[in-house]
Amino acid sequence: MTIKAGDKLPETTFTKPTEGGPEAVASADFFKGRKVALFSVPGAFTPTCSAKHLPGYVEKAEELKAKGIDEVVCTAVNDVFVMGAWGKSANATDKVTMLADGNGDFAQAVGLTMDGSKFGLGTRGQRFSMIVDDGVVSVLNVEAPGEFKVSSADHMLGQL
């Protein structure tokens, strides 16, 4: 079943790239007591994700925070090392927190997976964004296949 606005996020574990190496991040602890802008991309270093999606959130991070967002988070079904390298290459450090969903546990738990096998990607997370307030989804924006509109930083800014 797909998560919807008003639902509590399921408990899963992400992996965060840090200077000291990979760090496990429990979703319940991470989202507790904070307002988080989370967006999911089908894959790090993929065309739309690298040219538009992540750069938009890097560019708008301060505007999002000025409107009450405590942290901006990018997740993808990629390993923590790829997410770390992608974040560095996109100058996301200190603006967007990269959380790896290496096995796709989060994407599966929220019911937002996609089959990218046709492109050699296997099962991935769909392109979406959400505002999570104290562990509860207050806004959910899921893109139609091949689209990039409602999950953008600009769209989210208009929802705050």
Helix, strand or coil, per DSSP, at residue 37? strand
Q: Which helix (H) or strand (E) segment is 85 a member of?
A: helix 80-89
Give the neighbor-by-neighbor strand order of the sheet with 35-41.
Answer: 23-26, 13-16, 97-100, 71-76, 35-41, 128-133, 136-142
The one catalytic residue in 9, 25, 44, 49 is 49
Among 100, 121, 119, which Cα is nearest to 14's?
A: 100
| Cβ–Cβ < 8 Å for 159, 68 | no
74 is catalytic: no
Task: Please give the positions annotated as active site.
Answer: 49
